[in-house]
Structure 1
Amino acid sequence: MSQLIYRKLRGPAYIILIVIVLRLIYYLLSSGDTVQVVPDKTSLTQKQPIFTRKQPVFTKKQLKHRLKNTQFLPQEHLASSTPNKELPVTSAANHNDTGLYKPVWSSLDSRPLPQWFDRAKFGIFIHWGVYSVPSFYNEWFWWYWKGPEPKSSIKEFMKKNYPTVTGYTEFETNFTASKFKPGDWAELFHESGAKYVVFTTKHHEGFANWPSKVGGHRNSQQRGPHRNLVAALSSAVRNKDLAFGVYYSLYEWFSTEYNADKSNHFESNNFVKNKVTPQLHELIESYKPDILFSDGDFGPTSYWNTTNFLAWLYNDSPVKNRIVTNDRWGTDVQNLHGDYFSPFHEPVETPQHKWEMCVTLDKESWGYRRDMKDDDVLTTQEVLEGLIRAVSKGGNYMLNVGPTAEGTIPTIFKQRLASIGKWLKINGEGIYETQPWKAQNESNNVWYTMKKRNIYAFVLRQPEQNSLLLSLPKPLEGAKIVLLETNTTLKWTDHSEASYGRVVLLPKEIGVPFALRLENFN
């Protein structure tokens, strides 16, 4: 009898057991267990440094998504990948509902840098706002006029030039942009060799350069220019096949709400809820920028709601596949989190994370100054040296110009940009789409980059006796050295002391900085 019962129950028991096992397997596969993405053998044997975050850890769900989308390959693989056409910017209707990135830094940091930004190398920054009207001291004019420690020089300036003006917002009427020709700007930036343009949409003064639906009437549509400056410039820039980015200041000097939150030790965030977050969404959804440069992050990330916003930006925004953003999202995250870092000073050594050096042509101000002198402006040589050093260290270089209140770019700025563009047309192959070589430089005069199998040596100053000693690159069979300026092959010999390197014979007349392409060297 017991055997009969056993035989009758054995079939259903096996079925139940199989169901339990299958459900257990399904549970394990769909849970948050992680898979470590390891570089392939080619990446592991590369000698040049790769600039990325720590090796990301992805869930199986995330890994499957990345394998489908080559733009999301980990940066360790980017060097060995064949360049493809850039993926199109995703439309607002095509949202990513997978929740790939969670609102925590460990997840947000696993997002690889979109390839286009690292390849671009050189961009233009524009500081343009109401501060262009007084155009004195710098773009912090309001703060040093009405802030807690006003400067006597600004008080004297106001007394002499604007004796009847008592409030900063009165300057908004004279921020006319009456001579602003976005097409001319875009052409100038394109000819400079820049690959992207970042525009100040709102600085710490709180004036918006687009018709924002929040913040009252203090915007360029209702005051001053009576024009949507962001829309006009973004359209013109993109017509020149340049990427377009927006700078946005999180905080505002004299915002009542912000200062109330600050007095409350940032335990309330009414300013963020009522203005910052809505305006960021306006910019992303209306203008679909390629870059979001955050600034004015005085307060912790918890106050700015940073991680929740970035999770939306990376998962569901219309620019989720292409946008890059920096690290100024709170006083506790600078140089720690973000697609790229934007340090205030040039790093000495090559960082292990993508970064960008921001420099202003007017050494005294980011905004336009009426009393700027020629000696206050960076020379073309200074700019090119900074660009070369940044790229050699794996960074990008963004150069700032400050237009007048009427919308003209000073002539000396135009001259600098034209000179930079002329140089890049000759030497750009050693700048764009390159990577750092295994050594960033030898002495302070020779800096290296690499692309594919070629090494590029940039020489900042004219060597003595028309010869150049290169001690680090080692020649292989068929080695050749080409001067990019003339596209001619140069003669070279081993130094009498072989360990010293190679001596390259240079033409008598050669412009600096100049670039050499080293073929079949390692």
Structure 2
Amino acid sequence: MARIRNAFFALLCLTLQMINVKCVRYQPTWASLDARPIPSWYDEAKLGIFIHWGVFSVPSFSSEWFWWNWKGQATPAVIDFMTKNYKPDFTYADFAKEFNAEFFNPAQWTEAFEDSGAKYIVFVSKHHEGYTNWPSKYSFSWNSVDVGPNRDIVGELMNATRAKKSLRFGLYHSMYEWFHPLYLADKKTGFKTQDFVNKKTLPELYEIVNKYKPEVVWSDGDWEANDTYWRSKEYLAWLYNDSPVKDTVVVNDRWGKGISCNHGGVFTCGDRYNPGVLQKHKWVNAMTIDKYSWGFRRNAKLEDYLSIEELLQTFVITVSCGGNMLMNVGPPSHGHIAPIYAERLHQMGAWLKVNGEGIYSSKPWTFQNDTLTPGVWYTMKKNSSGAGVTVYAFTFDWPGSGTLSLAVPQASPSTVVTLLGFSGNLNYTTHKPKGIDIRVPVIPINKMPWVYAGSKQRTVGKKW
């Protein structure tokens, strides 16, 4: 019977190919898996929101690695924090009882994420602490329904996200857990046994995809063992061939020791990766508004947060070099997004409402940045007519002289220069053999819809 099924499948593939529909079965090898194209929606989106929220949000001290910094590789500041504020017999599990999420309103979250101009979110379903933000069958009494908020956080956020037509839903999942006995037992054997993978990691990964259908599956916690131990290739083959999101899902590159930046889907190559030069493979800059932590820190100082100017510059450079930016928000344990994060989300969205034309669905240009004027970065789009391109120049400093001098654009008799957010064309003169001087309008700073007072650095978009 198996041979009949295989013969029928081969015939079906042939028939589909005749009507120009691809029929590809990806094999559990990196050569096959790496050949899968990254779905086009991802490159077009450019901006996503990362959300780190879990039991670690209760102590909200140090970082989301609080438990490890307390009981793993003990950190003096964390030890001192626990000694001063908690009883000697207090355990990490006791924090889960205080993870009440009393102000968590998924509709308000997604409203803020949509307002930011982001096109997708990636929510932490489970971090290295092992606590699952959904009622996992494989995390008994250590999940958001059994202890803490008594809510299916992932499910509620999924529903709220899908109510927004402009947002796609994605999930982060940590493959390992710091103190899980099955993982520690496998580790003692040099990862020759796979009890943790077979009984915990893989069942959870299949569970979240089948139940919540995320269009981003962001893996992490892979670095201590190779991909063979994690059975990553087999899982990805299922994800690409047979899962409910097989045609649209995007994955990252954290699937085993030595795999990152070499195999998988979108390359992360490490946290806050921003090479500043064009990359051959699609990549993502996963970064944080809080410079030092992914989770919320109640002891953070104002200067610990990136300004909107810093965020915009990071974003423009990332997109110019072919990447997406995944901007992290760390809500407090009660679930209401802190004002500093809400402000940054709104500011990003206000800027994109004016300058998004040069961001969304754009491609890297021949040049990523200008060779004459520092702080000028480029993107491009092909014109809808198919003839020529539109090049967008983003400058981080408003030219005080009233003239923006650029070295690399080469104007032609048909070249038109405009300023995003304002009507009319700008006057310009050309250099020899190439280059362009653009006369920018004199506009009061409070009339510029895309800049934020209080900084010498300005981010504006121009096109020609």
Given the two structures, how large is their TM-score scaled by the length of structure 2? Answer: 0.90
Q: Which among 81, 92, 100 is matched to residue 157 of structure 1? A: 81
Within 1, Cα distance between the matches of 2:407 and 2:276? 21
Give, as a single letter, the amino acid of the residue that structure 2 aligns with 1:336. N
CA distance in 2 between partners of 1:107 and 1:251 (Å): 26
Q: Which residue of 2 aligns with 1:185?
A: 109
Give CA deviations for 1:414-452 in whole Å, capped at 9, x if unaligned: 011111100000000000011101111114411111111
Contact 2:171–2:216 (Cα < 8 Å) also in 1: yes
Q: Distance in 1 between matches of 2:332 and 2:250?
A: 29
Alignment partner, residue 297 of structure 1: 222
Check conservation: 2:411, 2:430, Cα contact below 8 A: no
Per the alignment, residue 332 of structure 1 pairs with 258
Cα distance in 2 between the residues matched to 1:313 and 1:65:
25
Name structure 2 gaps, 5 residues minimum. Answer: 1-6, 383-388, 452-457
2:102/2:334 contact within 8 Å kept: yes
1:62 CA displacement: 12
What amino acid is aligned across from residue 502 of structure 1 in structure 2? I
Distance 2:317 2:19 in 1: 33
- Counterpart position of 2:462: 516
| C-alpha contact (below 8 Å) 2:58/2:332 kept by paired residues | yes
Moved over 3 A (4+): 60-67
Q: C-alpha separation between the residues in 1 aligned to 2:440 and 2:399?
A: 9
| 2:379 match | 449
Structure 1 position 169, deviation (Å)? 0.9
Deviations 1:157-207 (A, max 9, x none): 111222345311110000011110000000000011000011000000000
- Higher Cα radius of gyration: 1
Cα pair distance change 1:219/1:356, threshold 3 Å: same
Q: C-alpha distance in 2, partners of 1:396/1:303?
A: 30
Provide Cα deviations, 1:58-77, integer angstroms capped at 9, x if missing partner: xx9699399415xxxxxxxx
Kindly state the Cα deviation for residue 217 of structure 1 after the two structures are TM-superposed.
1.1
Residues 413, 283 of structure 1: alpha-carbon distance in 2 compared, 3 angstrom cutoff: same
After the TM superposition, which residues 398-477 of structure 1 pair with which residues of structure 2 at under 5 Å, given as runs? 398-443=326-371, 444-452=374-382, 453-477=389-413
Return the offset for 1:373. 1.5
Task: Specify the SS of the correspondent of 1:476.
Answer: coil
**1:142 matched to 2:70:** no
Question: What is the DSSP-based 3-state SS (H/G/I as helix, E as strand, rest coil) of the residue aligned with 1:154?
Answer: helix
Q: Deviations over 1:117-151 (max 9, x none)?
A: 0100001000000000000000000001001x311
CA separation in 1, counterparts of 2:55 and 2:80?
Answer: 19
Distance 1:160 1:395, change over 3 A: same
1:63 and 1:475 mapped to 2: Cα distance? 47
Q: Deviations over 1:226-271 (max 9, x none)?
A: 0000000011011112000000000111111111111111111100
Q: Tell me the secondary structure at the aligned position of residue 408 of structure 1.
A: coil
SS of equivalent residue, structure 2 residue 209: helix
How far apart, in 1, do the equivalents of 2:417 and 2:20 lie? 39
Aligned residues: CA RMSD: 1.9
Name stretches of at least 5 consecutive residues in structure 1 with no aligned partner. Answer: 1-26, 32-59, 70-97
Q: Structure 1 residues 294, 65: closer, same or farther in 2, change over 3 A?
A: farther
Question: TM-score normalized by structure 1?
Answer: 0.80
Give the Cα–Cα distance (whole angstroms) in 2 for the partners of residues 413 and 164 of structure 1. 34
Equivalent residues of 1:326, 1:338 under 8 A apart: yes
What letter corresponds to residue 436 of structure 2 in structure 1?
R
CA distance, structure 2, for counterparts of residue 371 and residue 490 of structure 1:
48
**Contact preservation (8 Å) 1:471, 1:499:** no
2:29 pairs with 104, 107, 117, which one? 104
Identity fraction in percent: 44
Is the 8 Å Cα contact of residues 282 and 323 (structure 2) preserved in structure 1?
A: yes
For residue 297 of structure 1, report the CA deviation from its aligned partner: 0.5
1:76 corresponding residue in structure 2: none
- Matching residue of 2:150: 226
Task: State how many pairs are aligned.
Answer: 431
Does the CA contact (< 8 Å) of 1:62 and 1:100 recur in 2?
Answer: no
Q: 1:487 to 1:337 in 2, by over 3 A?
A: farther
Shift of 1:100: 0.7
Q: 1:105 to 1:431 in 2, by over 3 A?
A: same
In structure 1, C-alpha distance between the alignment counterparts of 2:67 and 2:178, rounded to whole Å: 9
**Residue deviations 1:266-320, cap 9 Å, x none?**
1111000000010001100000001000001021000000010000000000110
Q: Judge conservation of contact 2:170–2:214 (CA < 8 Å) in 1.
A: yes
Q: Which residue of 1 aligns with 2:3?
A: none
Q: Does 1:209 find its partner at 2:133?
A: yes
418-427 or 435-444, which deviates more: 435-444
Distance in 2, matches of 1:66 and 1:489, equals 47
CA contact (8 A) 1:361 1:377 kept: yes
Does the Cα contact within 8 Å between 1:485 and 1:514 map onto a contact in 2? Answer: no
Deviation at 1:460, TM superposition (A): 1.3
Distance across 1 between alignment mates of 2:290 and 2:15: 45
Asked if 1:256 corresponds to 2:192, the answer is no
Aligned residue for 2:391, secondary structure, equals: strand
Cα distance change, pair 238–165 in 1 and its aligned pair in 2 (3 A): farther
1:78 aligned partner:
none
CA distance in 1, matches of 2:420, 2:366: 22
